Amino acid sequence: MTYFSSLIFQHSGPVLMEPATVPEKNLMKDENSPNHPTAKCKRGQWANKREFILAVIGEIIGLGNVWRFPYLCFKNGGGVFLVPYVLILFTCGIPLFFLEVSLGQLTGQGAITCWREICPLFGGLGYGNQIIMLYTVMYYIVILAWAFLYLFSSFNTELPWASCNNTWNTGTHLCYNGSFYGYMNKNATSSVKEFWQRRVLGLSAGIEEVGRIRWDLAGCLLLSWIICYFCIWKGVKTSGKIVYFTATFPYVMLVALLIRGLTLPGAEDGIRFYLSPDHTRLADPQVWMDAGSQILFSYAVCSGCLPALGSYNKYNNNCYKDTFALCTLNSLTSFVAGFAVFSVLGFMSHELGVDIAVVAESGPGLAFIAYPQAVAMMPLPQLWAAFFFIMIIFLGVDSEFVYLEGLVTSISDIYPSFFFTGHRRKLLLLVLCGVSFVIGLLMVTEGGLYVFLLFDYYACSGMPIMFFAILESISDPYYNKIKEMIGYHPSSYMKYCWKFLTPFVCGILLFSLVKFTPLKYNNTYQYPWWGYAIGIFLVLSSVLLTPLWFLYGMSTLRSELQFVIDCLHVKNSTDNVAGPLYLWFISSCIFLYIMGYNHHK
C-alpha cells in the first residue's frame, strides 16, 4: 500500500503518520463510520436494491435524453455521432459514474464529506459539486412550471397554441387549419411560437427588462416545489417508494408516443434524417465536444448526486454491475427517444412541405414549440399533448427531487449529529426549497428566460463539469478498497481509465474552450456585459472552491505539507496520482491548441 492510500480512510482528521504506523480501518467495524450498521440506521438506507436502481434511473434519465440527444445526433452526422458518443461513454462516462457511486457506497457519505475521506484537502471538490447541484435545482424546476402550464392548457376544447384568435396573437402569425398554414408573409411567426413567447413567457426584449412576474407560472413553480418537497421530506423512506412510479411511468408515455409517431405519415423521413450517416463530420472537433458534453450531462457525473445516492446502499452492494446496467439503459433510452421525437418531426415536415431541418429544435424549443406544433396537427391533439407533457413533468420531477435529495444528504452529512436529530433535516429541506423558489421567481418574470439560459449555459454545463471530472479522475488509489465491498477487483480497465484515459479525454474537452462563444438568445440577442459577468461568476463560484479550499488547508494545516508533497511527487511514488494527470493535461493542451489553430485557419 502506498503512503497516499494508507491515509485515505483516516477518520481522525488530517494528522500525518508514518506509513508503517497508519492503522487500516474496516469501515464496517468502525463504530464512527457511517457504514457501521448503527450509523446506517440513523442515517437511513435503501430498503432494497430496486429503490437505488430506480432512484438513479430517475436522476440520469431526464429531459436531456428526450430533447438534447436526438437533436445532437441529427445535427452531428446522424448515426456517425454514435462513434464519439460510445468512445467517450467508455472512457469517461462509465468510469466516472462508477467512481462516484462506489465512493459514496464505500464511505457512506454525501459528496462533500466523501471527498474529505479521500483527502482532507480535496474538500473543495465536494463543495464545488454542491454549488453546481444547487444551481441545477434552482433552474431545472422552472421547466416543470412551463410544462404544468402547457398541461393545464391541453385540457381546453381547442389547443390554445393551435388557434388564431387569441388576445396574445399579433395578427402576423401562421395558423394551421388542417392542411396548411394560412396568412403567409415573410415576417410571420407560428401561432405556437406566439403562445410560447407572448402567452407563457411574456418575453421581454432582453435581460435588461426583467418586467413583472408571470403569476400563472409562479403558481406552477410553487406547485412543482411542493411536489418535490413531499417526495423526499422523509428522506429515502419516501423517495425510495415514489421512484417506483416516477421512474417507470415516463417509459409508458414514451412507448405510447413512439408507437403513435411511427404510425404517422412522414415518420420514415424523420427517422432517416435522424440516423443518416455523414462520415465527414467525424473530422469536426465540435462533434466530439458535443458528444462529451452530452455524456457528462446526461450521466449526472460531477454534480455530487451519485455519491449521495450510493451512500444509502448496503456496503456489499455490487455497484460495479449496477453501473453497466444503468449506463446501458440511459444510452438506450436516449437512442429510442430519438425515434419518438424524429418520427413526429418527420410527420410535421411532411404536413408542412418543408425540410425537416427547418422544424428540428433542441432544448425548450423542441418541448414547447416544435412538438406542440406537431401534436396540433394530429387527430385527438389534446390527448397526445397531455401525454407528452405528462412525460416531460415526470422526467423533470424525478430528476429534480433526486438532485434535491443529493443536496440535502451532502449538507446533512457535514453535521450528522445535528441534522439527523428530530425534524431538523425536514427544516433544512424546507429552507432550501423556499430560498430556491424565491430565486426561481426571477426566472418566471418577463425577462426570466434570459436568466434561465445563463444558468443553463454557464453554471451547469461545460467548463465546471469538465474541470471536476479531471480532478475526480486522480482518485484511483482507493481502487483496492472496492474489493472489500463487491468481493472482487473490477476490471483493470477501470483503473487505467481513472489514471490515464479519463483525465486525457476530459482535458481535451475542457480545452475545447478555445472555441467558446458567448451566449446569444436565438443567435440574435446579445447579452449586456454585466449579463456575461453573471455567467462568469456562476462558473467561477463552483470551480474556484477547489483551489481555494486547497490553499486554505495548506495555510491552516501546515502538517499537511509533507502529505501533499508525497501525494503529488512524481519521482518517488510508485502509485503516483498526479503524474499521469499532469502528463495528459499538458498533452491535452498541446493537442487542443493544434486542433483549434487548424480550425481557425
DSSP string, 349-360: HHHHTS-HHHH-
Tell whether residue 284 is among the known ligand binding residues.
no
Report the alpha-carbon distance of residue 463 to residue 479 in Å, rounded: 27
- Residues contacting residue 401 through CB under 8 Å, at least 6 positions apart: 58, 227, 228, 231, 232, 239, 242
Task: Name the grid cell of 70.
Answer: 436526438
Q: Using alpha carbons, select from 327, 301, 320 the residue that is nearest to residue 86.
A: 327
Round to whole Å and give the CA distance between 81 and 72.
8
Q: Please classify residue 75 by burial: count the beta carbons closer than 10 Å to its beta carbon, then call 0-12 exposed, 13-18 middle and 19+ buried.
A: middle
Q: DSSP letters of 131-185?
A: HHHHHHHHHHHHHHHHHHHHHHHTTSSS-TTT-S-STT--S-EEEE-SS-EES--
Taking phi over 0 as left and psi of -120 to 50 as alpha, with beta for the rest, 349 belongs to alpha
Instruction: Tell whether residue 298 is among the known ligand binding residues.
Output: yes
For CA atoms 7, 10, 12, 17, the dihedral sign is negative
Between CA 554 and CA 211, with CA 132 as vertex, the angle to 5 degrees is 130
Do 35 and 107 touch, CB atoms closer than 8 A?
yes
330 is in an annotated binding site: yes
What's the rounded Cα separation, in Å, for the pair 315 and 483? 11
φ, ψ for residue 517, nearest 5 deg: -120, 140
Cα(first)–Cα(last) distance of the chain, in Å? 50
475 annotated ligand-binding residue: no
Establish whether 58 is an annotated binding residue: yes
Residue numbers belonging to the annotated binding site: 58, 65, 298, 330, 395, 398-399
Could you list the residues known to form a binding site for Na(+), using ranges: 58, 65, 298, 330, 395, 398-399
